[in-house]
């Protein structure tokens, strides 16, 4: 919108306007004209040389064509370990090769025992059992007596007004009609006996009852039961021997010599992991990205893509028939499973394994302020608040009506790294939940480094 002065020359219905910006042409009536010139098309309203002018379509700016940005341009940082085949350190190669070989084997008990047994039962039953229909009620037409008196009607024991009353029937109540030959009475089905109701107080009708059926399974093979029991007994024996063969094929023992002193230390190892597991919420970080629209993201400088840790267990073996005399703490991440052996971290993806001794594992721990837009865990510490839409000064942006207050929580963040490519980040709602366990792993790593250098540990 603008105010301006102008001079013009009229040529019929057309008018030529002269200004410092050039020539323009307009048409219309006095006080309301449309003009076209170098700066576009305008609607002009006014008189006496002072006018209001507005450009047509000035609010319809074309949308910019955005090109997809790469992760580097967006500042996206993927938090994940490298390819599983590259993660193991040199000292773990033989151990990992054996684990991977056993994990890739098929279970004989499944493929040669359970699946053939299921197929046997299916084929035998398919060829020996049939289904047939049993009619419970043929249905069809049925005559009924309907109480047609608004005050109801007496159902009597005999077709006599002086006979005892069985029940007072309500209006529109229906009964199965047994006989209507009597001129004054209808004989009806009443519970498990019969009764009589006056024709003056009732009427008759016909209803169509549905056919009621059920199905029954029967055997066409007189030897079906004997064949089924014999087959199941044979498969049970086969499965027993196949399971023993699988146990022999998959068996892997990892026993540790633990004296009284070491037992105390290892008890602390398991207790520290239990402290981590006690944290109400545990997350795995997947991506971190620089936030370029902090006003609409509660003022966050980075956007974190996280998911809940899949599962945490005090003990879980990496493969079937894996025998050990210690507990193996376990954390399930997305596509990755972590097993904490006493001397090394075991990693599994699918049927592939990797292992890293704690001397080659670095654990970074720090506290982080997290703008929590989910339900706050009961053990989390709220240290501040912000707004969903925030101003530069940290206050709420009043342009948004649904601008809610959001808590800022203080969490603990732990990153596991190795030179071979291990890179996983775990966050806990309770401050220091992983500290004790992480410090224990660091201590083991220092001892392993000293032992490598030839120093004797007593």
Per the structure block, which two tokens stand in for 300? Answer: 């966050």
What integer pLDDT is reported at residue 226 of this predicted model?
Answer: 95
Q: Is the dihedral of CA 152, 155, 161, 163 positive or negative?
A: negative
Cα–Cα distance, 196 to 189 (Å, whole number): 9
pLDDT band at 370 (very low <50, low <70, confident <90, very high): confident
At residue 303's C-alpha, the angle toward residues 419 and 361, to 5°, is 15
Q: Is 50 exceeded by the pLDDT of residue 72?
A: no
What integer pLDDT is reported at residue 11 of this predicted model?
Answer: 60
- The mean predicted confidence, pLDDT, of the chain is 81
Place of tokens 């005559």: 143
Altogether, the residues listed in the chain come to a count of: 458
Instruction: Decide if 199 contacts 188 (C-beta within 8 A).
Output: no
pLDDT digits (tens, 9 = 90+) for 46-71: 655 555 555 655 444 343 343 444 44
Cα–Cα distance, 26 to 38 (Å, whole number): 12
- Which residues make beta-bridge pairs with 185? 198
Q: What number is the average pLDDT over the span 361-380?
A: 90
Q: Is the dihedral of CA 168, 172, 178, 181 positive or negative?
A: positive
Place of tokens 């601008």: 403
pLDDT digits (tens, 9 = 90+) for 20-46: 566 666 666 666 666 666 666 666 666
Stated pTM of the model: 0.63
pLDDT digits (tens, 9 = 90+) for 405-437: 888 899 999 999 998 889 999 999 999 999 999
Q: What are 315-318's contacts with CB under 8 Å, separation 24+?
A: 318/99, 318/103, 318/346, 318/348, 318/353
Query: Which class for 188: exposed (0-12), middle (13-18), buried (19 or more C-beta within 10 A)?
Result: buried
Cα–Cα distance, 102 to 92 (Å, whole number): 16
Place of tokens 């009506």: 401
Cα–Cα distance, 20 to 255 (Å, whole number): 95
pLDDT digits (tens, 9 = 90+) for 125-142: 999 999 999 998 888 999
- Which residues, 6+ apart, have CB-to-CB distance to 227 below 8 Å? 124, 128, 221
Per the structure block, which two tokens stand in for 178? Answer: 């047994």
Per the structure block, which two tokens stand in for 261? Answer: 């002193």
- Which residues, 6+ apart, have CB-to-CB distance to 237 below 8 Å? none
- Which residues, 6+ apart, have CB-to-CB distance to 31 below 8 Å? 45, 46, 47
What integer pLDDT is reported at residue 81 of this predicted model?
Answer: 78
CB atoms within 10 A of CB 10: 9
The domain defined by 140-209 folds into SH3 type barrels. (2.30.30)
Secondary structure (3-state) at 283: strand
Cα–Cα distance, 184 to 208 (Å, whole number): 26
- Which residues, 6+ apart, have CB-to-CB distance to 234 below 8 Å? none
Cα–Cα distance, 324 to 302 (Å, whole number): 43
Domain ranges of the chain: 2-55, 77-104+253-452, 108-133+214-250, 140-209
The pair phi, psi for residue 362, each rounded to 5°, is -110, 130
pLDDT band at 163 (very low <50, low <70, confident <90, very high): very high
- Which residues, 6+ apart, have CB-to-CB distance to 69 below 8 Å? none
């Amino acid at each position: 919108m603008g105010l301006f002065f102008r001079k013009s020359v009229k040529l019929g219905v057309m008018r030529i306007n002269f200004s410092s910006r050039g020539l323009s042409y307009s048409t219309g009536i006095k006080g309301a004209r449309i003009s076209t010139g170098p700066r576009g098309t305008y609607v002009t309203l006014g008189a006496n040389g002072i006018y209001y002018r507005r450009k047509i379509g000035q609010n319809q700016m074309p949308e910019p064509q955005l090109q997809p940005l790469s992760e580097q341009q967006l500042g996206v940082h993927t938090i994940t370990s490298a390819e599983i085949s590259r993660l193991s350190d040199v000292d773990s190669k033989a151990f990992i090769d054996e684990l991977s070989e056993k994990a890739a084997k098929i279970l004989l008990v499944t493929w040669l025992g359970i699946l053939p047994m299921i197929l046997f039962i299916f084929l035998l039953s398919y060829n020996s059992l049939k289904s047939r229909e049993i009619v419970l009620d043929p249905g069809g037409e049925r005559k009924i007596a309907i109480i047609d008196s608004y005050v109801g009607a007496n159902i009597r024991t005999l077709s006599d007004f002086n006979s005892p009353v069985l029940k007072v029937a309500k209006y529109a109540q229906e009964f199965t009609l047994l006989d209507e030959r009597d001129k004054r009475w209808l004989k009806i089905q009443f519970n498990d006996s019969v009764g009589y109701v006056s024709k003056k107080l009732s009427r008759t009708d016909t209803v169509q009852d549905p056919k009621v059926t059920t199905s029954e399974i029967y055997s066409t093979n007189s030897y079906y039961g004997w064949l089924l029991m014999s087959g199941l007994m044979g498969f049970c024996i086969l499965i027993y021997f196949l399971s023993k063969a699988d146990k022999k094929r998959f068996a892997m023992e990892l026993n540790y010599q633990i004296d009284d002193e070491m037992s105390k230390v290892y008890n602390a190892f398991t207790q520290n992991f239990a402290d981590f597991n006690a944290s109400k919420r545990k997350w795995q970080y997947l991506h971190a990205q620089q936030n370029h629209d902090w006003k609409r993201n509660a003022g966050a400088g980075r956007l974190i893509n996280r998911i809940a840790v899949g599962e945490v267990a005090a003990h879980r073996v990496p493969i079937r028939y894996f025998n050990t005399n210690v507990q193996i703490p376990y954390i399930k991440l997305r596509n990755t499973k972590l097993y904490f052996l006493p001397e090394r971290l075991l990693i599994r993806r699918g049927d592939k394994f990797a292992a890293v001794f704690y001397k080659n594992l670095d654990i970074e721990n720090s506290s982080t302020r997290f703008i929590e837009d989910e339900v706050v865990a009961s053990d989390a510490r709220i240290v501040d608040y912000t707004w969903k839409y925030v101003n530069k000064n940290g206050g709420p942006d009043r342009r948004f009506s649904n601008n809610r207050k959001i808590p800022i929580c203080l969490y603990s963040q732990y990153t596991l790294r190795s030179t071979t490519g291990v890179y996983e980040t775990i966050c806990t709602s309770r401050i220091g939940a992983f500290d004790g366990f992480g410090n224990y792993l660091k201590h083991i790593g220092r001892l392993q480094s000293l032992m490598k250098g030839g120093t004797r540990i007593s």
